[in-house]
Amino acid sequence: MNNIDYKNLGFECQETHANYISYYKDGLWDDGVLKKSTSITISAFSTSLHYGQEAFEGLKAYRRKDGKIQLFRPFDNALRLQRSCERVLMPKVPVEKFIDACEQVVRANADLVPPYGTGATLYLRPFVIGVGDNIGVRAAKEYIFSVLCSPVGSYFKGGLAPNKFMVTYNDRAAPNGTGSYKVGGNYAASLWSNHIAKQNGYADCIYLDPLTHTRIDEVGAANFFGITKDNKFITPKSPSILSSITNKSLMYLAENYLGMEVVRGDVFIDKLDVLSEAGACGTAAVISPIGRIDCEDKQHVFYSETEVGPVTKKLFETLTGIQYGDIEAPEGWIHIIE
Ligand code: PLP
Ligand code: COI
């Protein structure tokens, strides 16, 4: 038994029993092993350290009411990691290897998958890095694929309590850059804006499209969605947004479980009054209601700064109901760890 206070857990690293590591050399991945320490030894010349040759994923293991453990759409994470690896010239991790590594890590840490009803989960962090001696700007010859984990609670403070966000004019990605890939460089580029937002009392920043700075792109490390005043689910479509598996799921749930029209379109920062509710969504963020957005000297309040709107609440209940196994999922969304 451990003494983690799961109900009040934030998004921090906790000690775990094991993580997975596999090495790629001479064109082949080895079988991979579980190990206890989260430390690794790599060359200080590694491309991941100097040139950001890195890609990662984030997914969660959920404890169901019947005690079983399940993953949510892990095949989508496996495919997205392959796409990210391709973009930064790293070898792809085969889908079966990715799933097997996640399963091994969850099984080895099964007692750390938080109890049903606490709202906490075991977060899995698969990643691939370029390693080995390398001084020029080129792809490494050797790689590590690893899956770390940690029990986590809310990413944004207060769970379903609305947060306020500030618009930044600093971009996390270029118009034709790597924004749609889950690669480390985008997150390094986001640290400054995130820091300024937090220093000013905001939960995070809102990124605008990097070409015109007129439309909402993302909310920190989460996608943006809005509910229009005529009850449509709207979410931006832009080449610099990470394609969120949570958002893709919400679009499906809005249409097929809630009977809403789904629009992939522009959300102009100076036309927020078309929306009655807004939220941030992602694996870490789950659904976090956006109470208010501040842009320069203008403030826009959505449904409420203190209460979650009815549609956001319904989406949250439906999504998490599926993730924790209480609501029947569309085919292929749930992967039970036997
Ligand atoms: N956008 C960014 C920049 C992210 O880092 C994440 C997190 O993975 C998301 C959106 C949400 O994606 P997902 O729902 O697949 O976790
Ligand atoms: C996720 O939601 O899984 C993320 O990767 C977001 C963040 C913690 C980087």
Express each pLDDT in 285-328 by its tens digit: 999 999 999 999 999 999 999 999 999 999 999 999 999 999 99
Q: In ligand 2, which atom is closest to the CA atom of 182?
A: 5
In the chain, where the domains are located: 6-152, 163-323
- Of all residues in the chain, what percent carry a pLDDT higher than 90? 96
Query: Which residues, listed in sequence order, are joined to residue 199 by a DSSP beta bridge?
Result: none
Distance between Cα 26 and ligand 2 center (Å): 31
- Rounded mean pLDDT of 228-252? 97
Express each pLDDT in 128-141 by its tens digit: 999 999 999 999 99
Same fold, 6-152 and 163-323: no
Predicted pLDDT of residue 157 = 81
CA distance 271 to 291: 16
Closest CA to 290 of 215, 218, 239: 218
Mean of the per-residue pLDDT values of the chain:
97
> How far are the Cα atoms of 121, 216, 246 from residue 311, in angstroms, in the given order?
24, 20, 16
CA distance 276 to 327: 27
For the domain made up of 6-152, give the CATH fold. Answer: D-amino Acid Aminotransferase; Chain A, domain 1 (3.30.470)
CA distance 275 to 208: 17
Closest CA to 125 of 209, 57, 219, 222: 57
> How far are the Cα atoms of 169, 266, 268 from residue 212, in angstroms, in the given order?
10, 12, 11
Distance between Cα 207 and ligand 1 center (Å): 13
CA distance 9 to 284: 13
> Of all protein residues, whose CA lies closest to atom 10 belonging to ligand 1?
222
Predicted pLDDT of residue 284 = 96
Express each pLDDT in 115-131 by its tens digit: 999 999 999 999 999 99
The reply to whether ligand 2 has any atom less than 6 angstroms from the CB of 52 is no
- Rounded mean pLDDT of 222-228? 98
Token pair of 126, please?
């698969």
Closest CA to 97 of 73, 78, 116: 78
pLDDT reading at 7 higher than 90: no
Q: In ligand 1, which atom is closest to the CA atom of 76?
A: 15
For 97, phi then psi, to 5°, come to: -70, -40
Distance between Cα 220 and ligand 2 center (Å): 9
Residue to mutate, 187, 283, 287, ligand 2, most ligand atoms under 8 Å from C-beta: 283
User: Which CATH architecture is the domain 163-323 placed in?
Assistant: Alpha-Beta Barrel (3.20)
Q: In ligand 2, which atom is closest to the CA atom of 56?
A: 5
Residues assigned a catalytic role: 182
Token pair of 291, please?
């109470």
Express each pLDDT in 36-74 by its tens digit: 999 999 999 999 999 999 999 999 999 999 999 999 999
Express each pLDDT in 174-214 by its tens digit: 999 999 999 999 999 999 999 999 999 999 999 999 999 99
- Of all residues in the chain, what percent carry a pLDDT higher than 70? 100
pLDDT reading at 33 higher than 60: yes
